[in-house]
Structures are given as C-alpha cells and as structure tokens.
A = this chain, B = another copy of it.
Amino acid sequence: MSLKRGIIHLKNPPSILGFSAVAGDMEQSGPLSGKFDKVFKGDMDGEKSFEKAESKMQLCAAEKAIEKANLNPEDIEIAFAGDLLNQCIGTNYGLRELGIPFAGVYGACSTMAESIVISSVFVSSGQVERAIAVTSSHFCASERQFRFPLEYGGQRPPTAQWTATAAGAVVLGKGQSKIKIKSVGVGRIIDYKIKDMNNMGAAMAPAAVDTIVKFLEDTNTTPKDYDLILTGDLGQVGSSILSELMDMEGYPLEGRHSDCGMLLFDRKKQDVHAGGSGCGCSAAVLCADVLDRMSKGNPKKVLFIATGALMSPTSNQQGESIPGVAHLVLLEGE
C-alpha cells in the first residue's frame, strides 16, 4: 500500500497492448517526423471546422491503437477520454462512432496521464479486461476558444506555448506486452497564483513538482532511479522552473528530465515560442516516440507526468489565478 494519498501501486500491472499517435502538418515537420501513424493535412483535413477535424483525429488515433493491438472496438470494455474544447466536444463527437462504453475526463493538458491512470486502476482491479485512454488537441480550435480568433493575428509573448494539433491513444489490458504500467499517481490542485494565460508553464510546473516529489518520497527513489522523467507540456519556461524547484526539494533531476513540449517541435526552426502544449502534445510524444522506443528496449523505466492548467477564459477574465494539476504514470519496459 502507498503511504501517500493519490499514489497507487497497481496490484496487477496492466500491459500496454497498443498505442497510436496522429498529428498535423506542423508536427510532422518537427523532430518526430515520420513517427505518426497518420498525418492530417492542413487545418481541417477536409472537414468543415477545426473542431470536426479534431474529432476526426481523436477517432483515428483510437482506431489505430485498437488495430495495432490486434483488437476490434468490440473488444474494448471502456474508454476514458477528454480534450480541451468546451464540453470536450473533440472527444464526444470523435468517439461517438465507436460504440465503446465511455466516461469523459477533464484534466486539460494532463488528460493523457489522467485517462491512463483511471484505465490502469480499472484494469488492475480485475473488473475490466481492456480499456482505452484517448485525447487530442487542435491549434486552431484551441486558439479561438482560449485566446483570439486566428484572423486577429494577436502577438504571442515568448512564454506562450503552441497547442499541438495531435491525438494519442493507448489500449491497456491484461495479458503480455513489452510495456507495463506499474504505478499511477493522481495530483492535487496546486495554485501558485500565476494569472498570465500566456505562461502556462509557470502555472503548471509547481503541480508537476508536487506530484513527482510525492511519488519519489512514497517509493523512496530519486530521479536517478528512472531512465526518463517525462513531463507533458511545461515548455522551456516551465521546465526550467521545474528544474529549480526540484533542486530546492532535494531531488535534482540529474539530466533525466525531458518535456513533451520541447520534444514535439524544434524551437530553433519552428515558431512555437516556449514549446508545444495541449492534450495532444504529451499524448503524441508518448505514443509516437516514447512507447515506441520502450517497446524496442530503451528507455526501460519512465515516469510520465502530464500537467494541466485548470483555468478557463471566464475564470481568467474574472481575475482568478491558474491552478495546475499533474498526474503520473510509471511505465516499465521489459
């Protein structure tokens, strides 16, 4: 049993049976080029709106992950999924076709980790055989909802991050596979009173620290015990805050840390300011790159911590600060 609330060491570690990432043109032009299962063309890929394009991406990621697991949608007992759009419409319309029992989650950019956490506990409990965790984000849909219509051409400050146009899905279940989920961690809502909607990294980094430190204390481990500590979407600003705060907590990251927001895009060549963000960012990096490398044997022990900023434009306009949350998944390869 765990000593820390929210940390769960899984009794029957679920296997990752399949995973898939799909992305847009810009993500395909970045460092992970060629690693996506499908690349969507332009902002809409033939759909009539950004939102419909996002739904299509999320459905595609789910279908491909199920296919890569050699399963059919009928074999999946439950789906946990969500996205950034108001009322999670990327998910609701995306997964509508599949007919899989569906429970929506909202964790902002932490959704990939949150949906894997919940799926893992369901499978580990022995009460569900197989579950799927899915999420997505879309740059254009997100900009007009959270910031400005693209046509306005608003300037973005250097701390701003670029919402990924991408989706990812992971199928979990009993049975053998090269990667297992050993532990999961649910984070607390942490609020350091950041109010700048263009500096999500700073708002989310303290939540990541809170969850990581809780996990390290509970397991009596240090960052050196992991091959990779992978945060979701802190970007350049949030990553350096993470590093400083972890030093202060007595757990220096010792070169073990990478951030999905820094891996998805090439900040020198692509105009993404502080890096990538959005539910789809950590989902795509995890499913296009990290799980693929793990299934080939390296890295073996990965702490995946996706962070979410829990504000809305309304709360921001009402003068509220931006609370963060971070959920954790311990992945172990053979």
Q: Chain A residues in contact with chain B, CB under 8 A?
A: 5-6, 8, 10-11, 48-49, 51-52, 74, 76-78, 82, 84-89, 92-93, 95-96, 99-108, 114, 117-118, 121-122, 124-128, 145, 185-189, 191, 310-315, 318, 320, 323, 325, 327
Q: In the complex, which residues of chain B have a beta carbon less than 8 angstroms from the beta carbon of A99?
A: 188-189
Partner of A106, one of B5, B82, B187: B82
Copies of this protein chain in the complex: 2
B127–A51 CB distance below 8 A:
no
B101–A188 CB distance below 8 A:
yes
B87–A108 CB distance below 8 A:
yes
A51–B314 CB distance below 8 A:
yes
Partner of A314, one of B85, B189, B310, B315: B85
B325–A102 CB distance below 8 A:
yes
Known: A102-B325, A103-B118. 19 other contacts (CB 8 A): A5-B74, A5-B101, A6-B101, A11-B126, A49-B318, A52-B318, A85-B312, A86-B87, A87-B108, A89-B314, A92-B311, A92-B323, A99-B188, A102-B188, A103-B327, A118-B118, A121-B122, A121-B125, A122-B125
Q: Provided the pairs A107-B104, A310-B89, A311-B89 are in contact, do residues A318 and B125 lie with their beta carbons within 8 angstroms?
A: no
Alpha-carbon distance A87/B95, docked complex (angstroms):
19
Q: In the complex, which residues of chain B have a beta carbon less than 8 angstroms from the beta carbon of A85?
A: 312, 314
Q: Provided the pairs A95-B189, A118-B118, A127-B125 are in contact, do residues A105 and B108 lie with their beta carbons within 8 angstroms?
A: no
Please list 14 pairs of residues, one from A and one from B, whose beta carbons are closer than 8 Å in the complex, sorted by A's number.
A5-B78, A8-B127, A8-B128, A11-B125, A52-B318, A85-B312, A86-B87, A89-B315, A93-B320, A96-B191, A100-B188, A104-B114, A118-B118, A121-B125
Chain B nearest CB: distance from A108 CB in Å?
7
Which of A82, A84, A87, A102 has its CB near the most chain B CB atoms (within 10 A)? A87
B314–A86 CB distance below 8 A:
yes
